Each structure stands twice: as C-alpha cells, then as structure tokens.
A and B are shown apart, each in its own frame.
Chain A
C-alpha cells in the first residue's frame, strides 16, 4: 500500500468543538427532562411502570442508533470502502454512545439484581416458581447471569467502538497506512462478536419482557431498526454540521445521496424483517406466538401497529424512493427526522405494550406517551452530551486516511 498523502496541507482539521458550547448546553438542558419524566411518572397512576418501561425504551432507542453506527464503521472497514471515509469519523463518534449508555442501562440491571419484577417477570423468584414455563428458562433468564451478560455486551461494544475510534485518531497523527490494514483485519471478527452480542442483548433486554414469547428473528429486527435509526441520525448530523460550516466541502451531495440510499434500503430491510416475523406467526396461528401481535392490537396498540405499517414503510417507500428526495439536503433532512421518529415509535411499540399494572396490560394513553417523550429527551440529552465529551478535540474527519482522496472525489453516476 502506498503511504498516505499528507493531506494536512490541503484540509484543515475541524473538530466538533467549533460548534461552540451551545450543543453541550442544550443537551445538558434536555437532560433535565429526565427527572421531570420521573416525577411525571411518580405523580400519575401506574406511573412507576410507565416510567420504568419508558426508560428502557429510551435507552434502547439510543442504543440501537449507536449499535447501527458501530456496524457501519466495521462494515466500511471490512469492505475497504472508499466513498465513506469522510463520514466515518462521525459514525465512530456516534458509536461511542455505548459508553454513556452503559451507565444509563446500569439502573435497569441493578433493578433486576434487586429482584424487582416491574420490567422482567422472571426477575421475581416467587413468580417464576408459580409459572409453568419460566422455571425451565431460569438457567438462562436469571438475574446473576443477566448482569454478567450485560457486562459482556457493553464490554464488547465499548471495546469495539474505542478500538476503531482510537486507531483512526492515531492515524490522524502519524498517517500510518498499517493502521487501516489492522482495522480491516479486526473488523471481521469484530462483526461476528457484534452480531452475537446484539442478537442476545435484544433477546435479553427486549424479548424477555414477555418471557413466554419467543421469535428467532427478534435480534435481526432490532438490528434493522437500529440501522434505520443510525442512518437517519447520520443524515441529520451531516446536514446540521454542513449548515454550521463543518465538513461542508468534504461531504458533498453525493455522500448525502448515498446515506439517503442506505437509509431507504434499510427501511425496506426493516419492513422485510417485520413482515417475515409477522407472516410466519400469522400463518402458523399458534396461540403462544400470536400473543405478541394480539397484545399489539388491543388497548389502542392497534393504531400504533398501523402507524408502523403505513408510516414506517408505505409512505417512505413511495415518496422517499426518488433520487431527487435524497439529493436535496432539505428533503433528506425531513425524511431522516421522519424515519427517526418512526424508529422511536417502533421501539415504543416493542417495549411499552409489555407494561402491566396489577397483571392488567396498560393501554396507550397520553400520559404514557408524555412520560416516554420526556424520558427520551432526557436520556438523549445525556447521550449526546456523552458523545460530545468523548469526541472532544478530535477531528471530524479521518484527515490522513489513505482512502481520503477517493472519498473526496466520490461521484455517483
């Protein structure tokens, strides 16, 4: 491989710090909504259940985005992609969101360790003993092993995210092309580790909310949701940063177009996985499987399910398909925000129908949505603040990556 060109002469290093203190202040301000959500929950009927599930939903909404970013970073390295070099550092920053999230998810794990069964019925030994199926699943679904798995999952993700960011940042300093080769070699096993940890984490934290129900495609469903979330976030960040003068020249409309294409493609992928899960359960019509969709057709959840079918798939499929929509920053920004909201509703639809109070499932209510929105903004504030802190003074672009030239000249046909 050729030695990387010293591009420092041509490209001045930009950092997120150039945005000024405002983003950090805004995100910390948003974080104040987290206690607000807590008190909203505390003061309303069945509020603690609402808050607990909203908190789980919020953390796993942002986790899906960070995991999507981690996947993107590794797949770009694995495939030796040239076009995406200018976007990769930003993706690496987003993937570092697993660090603040590891702390944010900790209370959920502590709750399980304390034997609280608000979220997970299997955490309560008495309930497990009364049940016919949970004792059989107890060797896997028990609080000790759950906590251990939490450590493994987040340990792996933090390790992977830090590895790819640090090696890439080190290359900014010395321009060593060997680092690129090292990252390429590590990305293969890294993706394998990622695939297992993500699937099992989705099963542990989201699917086991209903310990009787199972779906073997669930991990991929969460993965698909995460990629939709990540590409939306990436498009929003790029367009925002460009408007603030960062990455304006390096990230051209061609790159935005490709991010839009990936967003569209993974939205279709999400729909494909969702219908695959639905169709098999619908066709087999076995009560222990259909219960998942039955829950989501009652107590107002039917509306949310329909919003997902029409809003998450059909509308973007028809209107976001055209090339023009993806090549115009304004329309791309609109669709990215729209699909991010849809992704939020998707995770909301996965988590909240499991909320029960006194054995009775809670229906969709304004209070529930309010608590969840406040909670999401609060958690999001901490998440973004964490990413900004970790990004610090690092360049927003891998300025001495050997494939930078290729990326800068990238052009769609």
Chain B
C-alpha cells in the first residue's frame, strides 16, 4: 500500500483528492491492467487482491524484496554479538578458571551463537517485513470506499496515489477507465477527527498499567525482606540423599559416612618410591615418620584454638578462666611452626628446571591456586574476595606469597604446604601429582622473584621486553 494519510489542520475543512480506485472482477484482468499501469510509468500505486496472486509481482514490476539481506545482516549481527559477548564475559570481564578448561573456547559458544543468530534473524524478518510494508497502519482511507469491502472476498483493485509525479485527476482517471475496470472511484481525504476511539484509548491504558505490575512486584520483592523460607522448586536437587563427610549413617556398621581407606592400599598414581626429596620435599625422612603429620596437626589445632579464642570474646570474659587460653595457643602455634622449621627441607629442586616445567607450573597454578591466591599470588583470588564478603570474620585469608615469611621458606617446605595444606588450606596431594606440585612451586618462585628484582640489574633487552608486554 503506497497511499498514506497525512492530515494537517487545513484539510479538516476541505477534503482533498488523495487517489483513484479501479475495481476489477477477474485476477487476469487485474494482471493485464497492472502491466499497463507499470508501462505507463506510474510509481505510487498498488494492487489489492483477496488471495496471493501468482505473477502479480512481475506484472507490477516489483523488484525482488531486499528482506533476505536484512535477515542475513541481522543474523550475522546476532552471531557476532554472541561471540563478542561470550568472549568479553568469559575471558575479559570475569575470567574464572573452571577445572582447567580454557577461558574461551569456540565449541562452548556455538549454542549461544546459534540462538542469537536465529533470534536476531527472526526479528529482522518480522520487523523488516512490517517496516517494508509500512505496517502497522491503523487507518487507510481506502476503507472508506464501500466497493473496497469486497477486496477480501471476490474483487480486485488498483489504487493510485495522488502523490505520484505522473498523477493528474483527469488524465489518470481516463487512463484507468481505459483498462476496462468495473468502476473507477475517487478517494477523498477524511475530514473527521483523526483521534483514536475512546474505548481503544481506555483499553490500551489498562494494558499499560497491567504491564507495569510485574516489574513493580519484582522491585517490591527485591527491596524488602521476608521470613518465609525460600521455595524449593526441585527438592531432590536441594536435599540430595548422597552421603557426606563428617556425618553418620547406619548403612555401615561403624556408623561413618566417609569410608576410611583400606590399610596398605595405594591410591592410583600415589605410589611413592625411594625418591624422598621428590615425594616429601625433605632431604631425608625423619626417624619418626609421623613428625610431619604431627607438626601439621599441631599447627592446625593451634590455629583452630586461636580462632576459638578470638570469636567469643564476650562469652569468655564472663567465664571463669579469662584470657588464659590465649598465650598458650600462641605458644602452641609457634612451637608447631618451629617444629616444621627444623625439618630438613630441600632447598633445590629435585629435578632439572626447564622452560616446559615453568609453563606447566603456570598452567596448573592458574587452575588450582589462582582462585584463592589470585593470579599474582597476593591472596586476592575471586573465591577469597567473595568469601571475605560472605563469611566476614571467620574466613582465613590465604597467604600472600610476597611476605618475608613465605619468601624465606625453602622449596621443600612450599612443596609440603601444597601437598598437605596449611591453616584452612586443604592438602592438594590427591588432586595434583608430585611433578605438577613441583612445577607450581617453580612458578611460585618466579612470582616471588618478580616483585623483588631491581630494574637496574636487568639487561636492556629484558627491559624492553617488559615494556612491550602488556
């Protein structure tokens, strides 16, 4: 439909001729007439039929629609947005390493790329179609014609717009009459008010108000608190019947949920041969083999007591034994630390140090350590930051590698810490094989060195390299 209605204040008084309407009773007659209108050089005109008519496009000289290109462009945009969005989210804005998977990987992005491409292509097709057809159009002056009512039934029309450059009331009328229509009708602009009907305004306002309700409800719920427990949509997932550590069960005679390892069993990949430095980080095993374990446990106990002593200060104050625990705890912790200090830790790596090992160490560090200790080892990993926010006082912040205490520790001691843990940090010997633990120690040393190197001692090419790398 090329005819449009533009009503200015002036036309209210005086109706204007806005077009001509020719009526046909046969689709073939319409096609023949359309060819003549096309050949006469008219541009702003249209045909109206009760059903899609094959061949009318050619007869009217309509070019093939550009809609496919709009759809293709929208689809491509969607795909590009999907790749960009996922790259930015996963690799730039919130890089979070999950079990060693790469931060950005194309296969993982394909479902989103597919969905967004399809979504935007569909939007392009739908809104492009509406736009190209100049829809939605609330009013068309053709609907004023009584004859035009049969356009959805059995009549075929050509409408010619008065805005066409070739249009003139007399010539065009004669021309249309020469096409053998049933009748030719003049269309006059509407002088009545273009206001929307009152009921429509009311209805639309009501819909608008109702549409405001859901966001208002969400805003209300988000800004208030409630005492009712949250709704468990899938209780099986929230309360799983699986057994957990530190709980009891009557499934086993000893009542423990976690099963102790069988005596003499060696977990897969945990076999240790005589290479003491490699497996323990010690030059030789102390006569009392359990000394490492005991020292560690002491340290942990002392730590727990310290936390205990810190927490209920008010409660303890009222108690009969005020502040008596505190010095004792400090003593125990210091004693445990001393015990560990005394052990014969290796100070050199028990294997040749290679570039490959460093790369491996970096990779493993980023997988296992960086979530808590941070990518540069300052103890500011995402898990730690979040835990500080949530757990407030009870979370023990992971150590920074750049304190004097950690810097002075021999490599064997660091290896032991990774293997068996320290304070709240659990041991990682079960997850990380020893060669990888050593590689992590190596990378950790490199991180430490990076903070305490005097720029003046560097060679020129090293300096320029530092400047160039981001």
Interface residues of A (CB under 8 A from B): 275, 278-279, 282-283, 321-323, 411, 413
How many Å from the CB of A284 to the closest CB on chain B? 12
A282 & B107 in contact (Cβ 8 Å cutoff):
yes
- Given the complex of chains A and B, what is the CA–CA distance between A10 and B73 in angstroms? 47
Q: Give min CB distance, A407 to chain B, whole Å.
A: 15
Q: Are A278 and B107 in contact (CB under 8 A)?
A: yes
Q: Is B110 interfacial (CB-CB < 8 Å)?
A: yes
Q: Does B50 contact A (CB under 8 A)?
A: no
Given contact pairs A279-B110, A282-B107, A323 touches B54 in the complex (Cβ within 8 A): no
Decide: A323 and B68 in contact? CB cutoff 8 A.
yes
Whether B13 is near chain A, meaning CB under 8 Å from some CB there, is no
B132 within 8 A of A: no
Cβ contact within 8 Å between A411 and B111: no
B108 touching A283, Cβ below 8 Å: yes
A275:B110 contact, CB within 8 angstroms: yes
B194 within 8 A of A: no
Whether A411 lies near B110 (C-beta < 8 A) is no
A and B contact pairs by CB, cutoff 8 A, 13 listed = A275-B107, A275-B110, A279-B107, A279-B108, A279-B110, A282-B107, A283-B107, A321-B72, A322-B68, A323-B68, A411-B54, A413-B52, A413-B54
A71 to B111, CA, bound (A): 28
* Nearest 7 pairs of A and B residues by beta carbon: A411-B54, A282-B107, A275-B110, A279-B107, A413-B52, A279-B110, A278-B107
Closest to B99 in A: A285
When distances are taken between beta carbons in the complex, the residues of chain B under 8 Å from A323 are 68
Chain A residues whose CB sits within 8 angstroms of the CB of B108 once the complex forms:
279, 283
B72 proximity list for chain A (CB < 8 A): 321
Instruction: Tell me, in angstroms, the Cα distance from A142 to B54 when the chains sit together.
Output: 59
Contacts A279-B110, A282-B107, A322-B68 supplied; 13 other A-B pairs, CB < 8 Å: A275-B107, A275-B110, A278-B107, A279-B107, A279-B108, A279-B111, A283-B107, A283-B108, A321-B72, A323-B68, A411-B54, A413-B52, A413-B54
Residues of B within 8 A of A279 (CB): 107-108, 110-111
A34 to B107, CA, bound (A): 40
Interface residues of B in 49-86 (CB under 8 A from A): 52, 54, 68, 72
Taking chain B's interface residues, is the majority helix, strand, or loop, or is none over half, making it mixed? helix
Chain B residues whose CB sits within 8 angstroms of the CB of A283 once the complex forms: 107-108
Give every chain A residue within 8 A of B52 (Cβ-Cβ): 413
- The CA of A282 and the CA of B107, in the complex, are separated in Å by 8
B67 → chain A closest CB, angstroms = 11
Chain A residue nearest to B52 (CB atoms) is: A413
A255 to chain B, nearest CB (A): 15
Complex Cα distance, B107 from A283, in Å, reads 9
Report chain B residues within 8 Å CB of A411: 54
Shortest CB–CB separation between residue A253 and chain B, in angstroms? Answer: 14
Distance between B60 CB and nearest chain A CB, rounded to angstroms? 14
Q: How far is the CB of B103 from chain A (nearest CB, A)?
A: 15
Query: What is the CB-to-nearest-CB distance from B40 to chain A, in angstroms, rounded to a whole number?
Result: 26
- Give Cα A321 to B68, complex, Å: 10
A-side contacts of B107, CB under 8 Å:
275, 278-279, 282-283
Residues of A within 8 A of B54 (CB): 411, 413
Closest to B54 in A: A411
Within the assembled complex, what's the spacing in Å between the Cα atoms of A322 and B111?
Answer: 24
Closest-CB distance, B21 to chain A (whole angstroms) = 25
Residues from chain B with Cβ under 8 Å of A275 in the complex: 107, 110
Closest B residue to A279 by beta carbon equals B107
Residues of B within 8 A of A322 (CB): 68
Q: Chain B residue with minimal CB distance to A322?
A: B68
In the complex, chain B residues 81-117 whose Cβ is within 8 Å of any chain A Cβ: 107-108, 110-111
Question: For residue A282, which residues in chain B have a CB less than 8 angstroms away from its CB?
Answer: 107
The answer for the CA separation of A282 and B109 in the assembled complex, in Å, is 12
In the complex, what residues of B have CB within 8 A of residue A413's CB? 52, 54
A309: min CB distance to chain B, Å: 11
Bound together, the chains give a CA A279 to CA B112 distance in angstroms of 12
* Segment 105-149 of B: residues with Cβ below 8 Å from A: 107-108, 110-111
Chain A residue at smallest Cβ distance from B72: A321
B108: nearest chain-A partner, CB-CB:
A283
Q: How far is the CB of B378 from chain A (nearest CB, A)?
A: 31
Contacts of B110 in A (CB 8 A): 275, 279
Minimum CB–CB distance from A264 to chain B (whole Å) comes to 13
What is the bound-complex CA distance between A322 and B54, given in angstroms? 21
Determine the chain B residues whose CB is within 8 A of the CB of A278 once the complex forms.
107
Roughly how many angstroms separate A322 CA and B64 CA in the complex, as a whole number? 13
Instruction: Kindly state the separation between the CA atoms of A282 and B72 in the bound complex, as whole angstroms.
Output: 29
A272 nearest CB neighbor, chain B only: B114
Alpha-carbon distance A279/B113, docked complex (angstroms): 13
- The residues of A that contact B111 with a CB separation of less than 8 Å are 279
**Shortest distance from the beta carbon of B68 to any chain A beta carbon, whole Å:** 7
Assembled-state Cα–Cα distance A282/B108 (Å): 9
- Within the assembled complex, what's the spacing in Å between the Cα atoms of A283 and B52? 48
Q: Which residue of A lies closest to B57 (CB)?
A: A413
Residues of chain A within 8 A of B68, CB atoms compared: 322-323
**Chain B residue at minimal CB-CB distance from A324:** B64
The CA-CA distance from A275 to B115 in the complex, in Å, is 14
CA distance A22 to B426 in the complex (A): 79
Q: How far is the CA of A278 from the CA of B107 in the complex (A)?
A: 9
* Shortest beta-carbon distance from B142 to chain A in Å: 24
CA distance A3 to B52 in the complex (A): 28
Could you tell me the distance between the alpha carbons of A278 and B111 in the complex, rounded to whole angstroms?
12
Q: Residue on B with the closest CB to A409?
A: B54
Nearest B residue to A278 via CB reads B107
Taking the nearest CB of chain B, how far is it from the CB of A225, in angstroms? 20
Query: Which of chain B's residues 143-190 have a Cβ closer than 8 Å to chain A?
Result: none
Report the minimum CB–CB distance from B126 to chain A (whole Å): 18
CA distance A323 to B64 in the complex (A): 11
Give the docked Cα–Cα distance between A321 and B121 (Å): 14
Measured CB to CB, the closest approach of chain B to A270, in angstroms, equals 14
Interchain CA distance A278-B110 in the complex, whole Å: 11
- The answer for the CA separation of A282 and B110 in the assembled complex, in Å, is 12
In angstroms, Cα B72 to Cα A279, docked, is 25
